[in-house]
Homo-oligomer: A and B are copies of this chain.
Amino acid sequence: MSVFLEKIASRGYKITPPRRLILKVMEEKKVPLTAEDIAREIKKERPEISLATVYRNLNLLVEMDLVNKFHGGGEAALYQLSWEHEHYMICLICGKVINLTFCPLKEEINDVALQYDFMIKSHYFQINGYCGACKQKSGIGG
């Protein structure tokens, strides 16, 4: 059983077909997906699963910190498994996501935290811009 399903079970939540499928889809596609993306994919196997169930479960997964929720170019939120501490660059036009292989937060921040007696619990970083393809299409100077 996947580590995600185990965590769900260990917290007393039930392992249901929608939950299995949502996690399967997110594991297979590695990129951030909207709730609709996930619902569309799931419906290929189980058309009766409703979008509301996808939203409900994504919210649960976010609350359990198993999934990260953030916004790219579009209006709909993006969801991605939080295997690890990750950061992205996001194209404001096509929504393409480039995962960073390192944390772009300067270590210097720890000095400031110490100085103010501030305990850093989490950080969120979002880098917006234009991917190569969209730059060309829209004639933005590169």
Which residues of A approach B to under 8 Å, CB–CB? 70-71, 77, 89, 91-92, 98, 100, 102, 104-106, 108-109, 112-113, 116-132, 135, 140, 142
Contact = CB atoms under 8 A, between A and B. Distances in A.
A96 to B, nearest CB: 9
A109 B129 CA distance: 13
A13 to B, nearest CB: 19
Given A104-B105, A105-B104, A125 B128 contact: no
Nearest to A98: B116
Nearest to A70: B126
A108 B119 CA distance: 25
Contact of A132 (B89, B116, B122, B132): B116
